[in-house]
Structure 1
Amino acid sequence: MSTSAPPTPAAPAAAPDGRLGGRLTLVLLAMLWPAQMLTVAGVFTALTQASIAQHFHTTQIAWFTLTYSLVVTCVTPFVARAGDLFGRRRIMLFILAAGVLGDLLVVMAPNYETMLVGRGLAGLYGPMAALVYASARDVFPPRHVGLATGAIGSAAGIVLVTCPLLGGWLLDHFGFRGALWALTAGVALGFVLVLCFVPKIPPTETNVSFDWLGGVLLGASATAMIYAIGQGGTWGWTDPKLFGLLGLSVVLAVLFVLAELRAAEPLLDVRMLARRDVASVLVSTAVGQGAFFAAGTMIVFVALYPHIPGVSDGLGWTGTHNAVVGLPAGVLILLVGLAAGVLTRKMDPRIPWRVGLAVTALGMVGQGLYHHNETQIILFGCLTNLGAGLVLACGGILLLGVVSPKEQGVASGMSIMLVNLVNTIAAQIMFSALNSDSRVLNGTSFYLDGALRSAYFAMAGCMAFALLLSVFIPKVLRPDQIESGTAVSA
């Protein structure tokens, strides 16, 4: 008996009175969830890190996150180009299916090494956000592009509200594998939503080549740098091996730039980066968002690690208690993100972006100093997320304002790749700070209060650096001023 694929949804149109309309609302919801799978994975895997480290007796728990982030960084530009060539909806379905297989390998892994392999495969769905952002201006009418893009970015608030509660409950009642099974189900749900509601978007290119050499050079450069940072505390920051690895990373980065200049279809459009508006937006948003995502895992070491005098200054909370304490900050980031979509239609998007960076940095300093009880964590978590709501929502809006519809796919891929690259580097910086005051017990690393403080300060420094970079962003278009794409009228 022959079978046929389900019909591809038609491109929706806005309601006659200018409202979003029922079909566009469904499309927005279908794009929100899979776009946030990188954040979902970050929440669920962060919640399980303490249990996984103690279960497998490993001091290398940092690579549980780093393996995933490195894969996302390396494959994002290839995924973005495949979307241009084969159609973004088709590639969305492919990477989500691959991600489900990776998560299944993680949840059923008999040892830590197998789990890391699964994490690498699961990273294939990390670039989903690049495809979704690139598709937003094609799916939504011009007046709704800013609202949709802001909602997609700020949907991290929904993740930060609901996922810790669910993950904490699962962790408390079913262990780390229960939470990882929920993550697998979440990716599978994303596949169903895309299949049923996301319309077909015509390919933007008919002949796209893939820059394999650039991918190898970039991946090798990033890996050498991240490994060097991670070994700094062990080898010593003046060790020749450390400088050798950093030097190798720089040489590979230079070779990468030279290869990109010669490539017909470069991994990173270096010439596009020569434009001040594009380069300043990409770099500032990558540092700001990447550092925030890295810092989001700090609550695990503060709240979920046990309190062992002289060994670990964690609070020893249950997953559920940690989620309840974090609820106000999660709600706040969602509300602020939604408000940012409206604000940027009426003011220069650079203003809320800079305010968000400054407030987030201040909140992280507060978290470094005051993280010893529920009241402190709620107050300074809310301060951090007050700024982070603006940071998450405005990044995509800034990018829309400096590139054309034809450049959107490449620019979105570059943005997601850089965010994940910075996220990986910032996470390794954070772990290096944590290791400055750590203790090993039964094969597992635990962290004292000085380590927790240093890690928060390091992340605050990254946010301050992003704020400094934002000074170089020139005036950008507001969302209601941008040119929309093809699917709206298809």
Structure 2
Amino acid sequence: MVHTPAPQAGPESLPDVPSEAVSASGRPPKGLLIALLWTAQVLSASSVIAAFAQADVAQHFHTAHIAWFGLIYSLVGTLMTPFAVRLGDIFGKRRIMLALIALGLVGDVLTALAPTFGVLLVGRAIAACYAPMAALVFATTRDVLPPRRVGPVSGVIGATLGAVVAICPVIAGWLMDDFGFRGALWFVAAVTAVAFALVYRFLPETPRRSRGEPFDWWGGLLLGGSISALIYAIGQGTTWGWTDSRMLGLIAGALVGFVGFALVERAVTHPMMDVRMLMRRRVSTVLVVTSVAQGTAFAAAAVMTVVIPLYPHIPGVSDGLGWTAMHSALIGLPAGIVLFLVGMAAGLATRRVDPRLPWLLGLALATGGLLLQAFYHHNESQIIVTGVVASLGMGMIYASVPILVVGAVSAREQGVASGMSMMLVGLMTTVAAQVIFTIMGNSSVVMKGTAFYRDAGYQQAYIALAASMAFALLLSLFLPKPQMPEEE
């Protein structure tokens, strides 16, 4: 079949913004905003809580395969994302969001009740059904809000990650101390249940942009499967070795899958993704720089802010600080608060300034903050001060990403672009995390089968993270000016 690009959505082809979505003044009601904010961060909250519970889960089930606790979540979520985005265009995003959140809740409950580690992994795989939620939320924002509100609200949604970073570690520490890992997992289920109630009550249905079009199953399987294979291969790099035949086979298979995806998308009448969209400089540059920056930031938060505080201090063996989870969370609280407040301000400021300005400033501050952390991470005061500096930049980054993606694509392409952004961020986070562990492993001491890291490894890892952020800053100098919805 000959590929014919889908027609661009224009005013005559799309329904008006649902009347219940905005007030007479054009301002969205608080219930709608809360539904969007809460639902977008369900995945982040779940990931933070689960990260704190991981060690206790491993000890309770006496398993050496605890890496699957997080890995299976990433694999299933990545595979599902292109299907969820496309189904949202066909059936309406609200319907798909409710279905995915309901499945995710079933998985959360099964995870919390799991009698064995195998059952727990099944629950985590089902819970990954709401992994595409952020992509659907950002696309929904463009569908249900007036154009002039899309950019600022998208920025605020991105900035609420700061609230998750600030609050969830404290909650996780309290739950782990008083109720164990099952208490933490039940809290994740409660967060998901609230998301379902908010979406059901406050979110209007969105336009069905692809009604009656055949579903591109092969395109979705090739795209999601290829990225999942690549994430799994990179995630096993430090375990298998980077020249292992399994590693090389998965990477080769992923590359073949990407080529197959491109060929399929150019051949079908209604592709999962118009690959020519990725060839536009505005789109490709935004997706690359945002995924590199966010992947670096997420890896730094998930690895460095957990390993250094929580690993023990053993002279000559381990240069961790040996803090408790609650103490670590409280020390990180100021940085999380700053991240949230700066992100909110940056998101709202984009109504008046070019969103590239807070983005570039955020990258510069984040690079400087990571360099400071490379040399000053040895006590509470150093971690608080350097963490606040880095968070000034991270807040601007998190707030600017959804705005840049919105400004790079049309309304019809928004869901696909957001989904691709989420998948690339997951890939870059995996790459950055593995690079960090490889660097730290070069300065580690293995004792009784456990690797303990020395200060030289921490310093080199932070410098590598700063270099990655600086690379994103350099690429961002070539970002074209975003075209915001109100300018279309």
Q: For CA contacts below 8 A with separation 6 or more, give which structure has more relative contact order.
A: 1
Unmatched segments (≥5 aa) in structure 2:
1-17
Residues 220-369 of structure 1 correspond to what in structure 2 (within 5 A)?
A: 220-234=225-239, 236-237=241-242, 242-298=247-303, 299-309=305-315, 311-369=317-375
Select 2:160's aligned residue among 134, 155, 161: 155
Instruction: Report what 2:110 is aligned to.
Output: 105
Distance 1:125 1:245, change over 3 A: closer
Q: Which segments of 5 or more consecutive residues in structure 1 lack a partner in the other structure?
A: 1-8, 484-490
1:12-64 C-alpha deviation (Å, 9 max, x unpaired): 32343x6x36xx22200111001111211121112223333444455544433
Letter in 2 for 1:12: A
85-94 vs 236-245, greater mean Cα deviation: 236-245
Whether 1:123 aligns to 2:128 is yes
Say which SS state the counterpart of residue 296 (structure 1) adopts: helix
The residue aligned with 1:425 is 431
Q: Is the 8 A contact 1:89 1:201 kept in 2?
A: yes
3-state DSSP of counterpart to 2:321: coil
2:180 paired with 1:175: yes
Task: Find the aligned partners of 2:163 and 2:210 in 1 and give their Cα distance.
Answer: 34
Aligned AA for 1:344?
A: T
What is the aligned counterpart of 2:22 among 13, 38, 43? 13
Greater mean alpha carbon deviation, residues 173-182 or residues 239-248: 239-248
**TM-score normalised per structure 2:** 0.88
Moved more, 184-193 or 110-119: 110-119
* Paired letter, 1:333: L
CA contact (8 A) 1:149 1:396 kept: yes
Rounded Cα–Cα distance in structure 2 between residues aligned with 1:379 and 1:59: 36
Q: In structure 1, which of residues 458, 461, 464 is the aligned counterpart of residue 467 of structure 2?
A: 461
Which amino acid is the alignment partner of residue 13 of structure 1? Answer: V
Contact 2:106 / 2:127 at 8 angstroms: preserved in 1?
yes
Q: Judge conservation of contact 1:81–1:208 (CA < 8 Å) in 2.
A: no
Show the counterpart of 2:3: none
Q: For the residues of structure 2 that align with 1:111 and 1:312, how far apart are their CA atoms?
A: 32
| Structure 1 letter corresponding to 2:119 | T
Deviation for aligned residue 1:141: 2.1
Separation (CA, whole Å) in 1 of partners of 2:221 and 2:457? 34
**Residue of structure 2 in register with 1:196 after alignment:** 201
Question: CA offset at residue 247 of structure 1?
Answer: 3.4
CA distance in structure 1 between the partners assigned to 2:164 and 2:95 by the alignment: 25
TM superposition shift of 1:444: 5.4
Residue type matched to 2:483 in 1? L
- Aligned counterpart, 2:4: none
C-alpha separation in 1, matches of 2:187 and 2:440:
29
Distance 1:311 1:218, change over 3 A: farther
The percent identity for this pair of structures is 53
SS at match of 2:269: coil
Residue 94 of structure 1: aligned partner: 99
Secondary structure in 2 aligned to 1:406?
coil
TM-score by length of 1: 0.88
Change (3 A) 1:389 1:113: same
Confirm or deny: 8 A CA contact 1:10 1:199 kept in the other structure. Answer: no
Q: CA deviation at 1:184?
A: 1.2
Is the Cα contact below 8 Å between 1:332 and 1:386 reproduced in 2? Answer: yes
Deviation at 1:152, TM superposition (A): 0.8
Give the Cα–Cα distance (whole angstroms) in 2 for the partners of residues 446 and 182 of structure 1.
31
Write out per-residue CA displacement over residues 426-485 of structure 1, whole angstroms, 9 at most, x where no aligned residue. 333334444444556666554443443344334333323322332332121356x344xx
> Higher mean Cα deviation, 376-385 or 208-217?
208-217
Structure 1 residue 78 corresponds to structure 2 residue 76: no
Q: Go from structure 1 to structure 2 and tell me whether the alpha carbon gap of 1:236 and 1:442 turns closer, same or farther (over 3 Å shift).
A: closer
8 A Cα contact 1:400 1:482, kept in partner: no
Partner of 1:398: 404
Q: In the alignment, residue 281 of structure 2 is paired with which amino acid?
A: R
Letter in 1 for 2:128: G
Q: Tell me which residue corresponds to 1:40.
A: 45
Residue aligning to 2:68: 63
Aligned to 2:413, the other structure's residue is in SS state helix
CA distance change for structure 1 residues 12 and 290 in 2, over 3 Å: closer, same or farther?
Answer: same
Distance 1:296 1:39 in 2: 12
Superposed CA RMSD in Å reads: 2.6
Report the count of equivalent residues.
470
Distance across 2 between alignment mates of 1:219 and 1:410: 13
8 Å CA contact retained: 2:407, 2:482: yes
| Cα distance, 1:35–1:241 mapped onto 2, change above 3 Å | closer
| Change in 2 beyond 3 A, CA 1:135/1:222 | closer
Partner residue of 2:385? Answer: 379
Supply the distance in 1 between the matched residues of 2:410 and 2:207 (Cα, whole angstroms): 17
* CA deviations over 1:203-227 (Å, ceiling 9, x no partner): 1221243333233333443344334
1:355–1:387 contact (8 Å) kept in structure 2:
yes
Deviation, 1:10, is 6.1
